[in-house]
Amino acid sequence: MTISRETLLLRQIERLKGQLAALGDLRPGSLSTQYNVCGTPGCRCKATPPEKHGPYYQVSFTRKGKSSSKFVRRQDLADIRKELKNYETMKMLVDRWIDLATELSNLRLAKKRS
Ligand SMILES: [Zn+2]
């Protein structure tokens, strides 16, 4: 016996919810690396070739239409990378959920009309 498309969609949605519930800490944004030049005369960052200060790590993100950024300490990099990855996974799962839920809704509406 083959299962109905509706049952299949419901199963997929339940699996997505489980994956979402299992996600760890998350945060939106992207990580960038910077090297800076300072204002100290004769500093190595102004030598030829220059040895700039850094790397400095920064997370840039946009929330409610507002862009911000935050410096990240080297010892927090691994945690931050994991959180950024979890955020991307969450977005992907929610996106899939929306597609499946829309298809399920359309199926049920069509069933009611027939
Ligand atoms: Zn310098």
> Could you read off the pLDDT of 51-107 as tens digits, one per residue?
999 999 999 999 999 999 999 999 999 999 999 999 999 999 999 999 999 999 999
Question: Of 86, 100, 107, 81, whose CA–CA distance to 16 is shortest?
Answer: 100
Quick check: 13 pLDDT over 80? yes
The pocket of ion ligand 1, defined by CB under 5 A, consists of 38, 43, 45
Distance 56 CA to ligand 1 centre (A): 14
Distance 47 CA to ligand 1 centre (A): 9
Residue 40 has φ and ψ, to the nearest 5°, of: -75, 120
The model's pTM is: 0.83
Tell me what pLDDT residue 114 has. 78
What is the total count of domains within the chain? Answer: 1
Contact between residue 57 and residue 35 where contact means Cβ atoms under 8 Å apart: no
Angle between helices 77-113 and 5-21 (to 10 degrees): 160
Distance 55 CA to ligand 1 centre (A): 13
- The residue segments making up the domain with residue 90 are 5-113
CA distance 83 to 26: 4
Average pLDDT, the chain: 95
Quick check: 1 pLDDT over 80? no
Distance 31 CA to ligand 1 centre (A): 23
